[in-house]
Amino acid sequence: MRLSTTTFFLFLVLATTHTTQAADIDIKKFGGAPNGDITQALVNAWKQACATTSASRILIPSGTYKMRGVDLKGPCKAPIEIKVDGTIQAPADPKQLNGAEQWVKIGYASHITISGQGIFDGQGANAWKQNDCNKNTKCERSAMNFGFYFLNHTIVRGITSKDSKNFHMNILSCNNFTLDGYKAIAPADSANTDGVHIGRSTNVKVINSKLATGDDCVSLGDANTHLVVQNVECGPGHGISVGSLGYYENEGPVVDFLVKNVTLKNTDNGVRIKSWPSTSIATTVTNMRFEDITMVNVANPIIIDQEYCPWNQCSKKAPSKVKISKVSFKNIKGTSSTKEGVVLICSKSIPCEGVELSEINLTFNGAPAIAVCSNVKPKIIGKAPACTAATNKVF
């Protein structure tokens, strides 16, 4: 029988779709069941998926599960999706994770997707009570909920990270990594629970997400390039931060960061660049763009702080050696909970260059918020507060 051109084309499409459809691997196959511990079941499912030459999808259905730490490594032979629709709980006792830096680690792989409406519950309340890092520089860090490292072409979509013991997520040395519809949730007083920390990565996007934590919603370490935070709600927490930088040896530059269409509510800071003083570490921060941002009762809506010294654990005798240039703040409006809506404290030895303030409309108690500046002469475009001399305010 001869096939018409249309029929042949439809047959070809159906055949192609069938051959590329991911094969489902339900953790039930490996003994993973609601109200039980699925640690080994997930590890075994990963091993099977990683070894197969066609795309696989690991399924964690609705229900509540327990899980100890897992370290899922590649390289793998084909794309893998982990679809989570249940709630997975970490041990409440931090010691039961045996000193692991992350509860769920995935690394050295490509084309990984984590999706679904699932919740990863770090049960961090006990860890927050034990956190004494504001007084003890040698404090023991509890596990983060997620650690993603050396991954290429990764998507995390729809999942929720809840009550992490430490950072909710660390993205390290990754390329083409997208967070879409991601939620990070923890109380405002939960120490060090950054929504997502990004380090030494390229082409990372955080989009359409809600981040409500006890620390930075998004924080950047060193050696990051081409990053985007867009359509994000932040608060409570400490805002969106570049840095802190200038603390560790051999830090790489941070280049090309766009923050756009973001709302920050009741945060300690809005958009911030911070570096440590009195160290010998030199690096650069350039091409930072903060645009179309709404502040609601934010303590420091716009801030560059090159005298960052939390808990007085350093000296401010010597200026920061981090070079900051080409930074624009554009169309930023809303309410500040302090009189100083714009604070630009740059290094005495390496002043900031190419800083622009454009269409800044921030109010404090109904009156226009002011701008205070040190070692920088920002270019004013349109409506924005003119700089006055900075005082010795501690941030």
Catalytic annotation, residues:
238
What length is written for the chain? 395
Contact 70, 91 (CB under 8 A): no
DSSP class of residue 78?
Answer: S
**Distances from the Cα of 338 to the Cα of 22, 198, 217, 299, 369, angstroms:** 53, 29, 20, 5, 8
The values of phi and psi at residue 270, to 5°, are -100, -100
Buried b (16+ CB within 10 A) or exposed e, 32-70: beeeebbbebbebbbeebbebeebbbbbbbeeebebebb
**Distances from the Cα of 3 to the Cα of 11, 19, 165, angstroms:** 10, 21, 61
Contact 285, 253 (CB under 8 A): yes
Contact 111, 82 (CB under 8 A): no
How many other C-beta atoms can be found within 10 angstroms of the C-beta atom of residue 72?
22
Q: How far apart are CA 83 and CA 225, in angstroms?
A: 29
Helix (H, G, I), strand (E, B) or coil at 332: strand
Q: Which amino acid does the sequence have at 354?
A: G
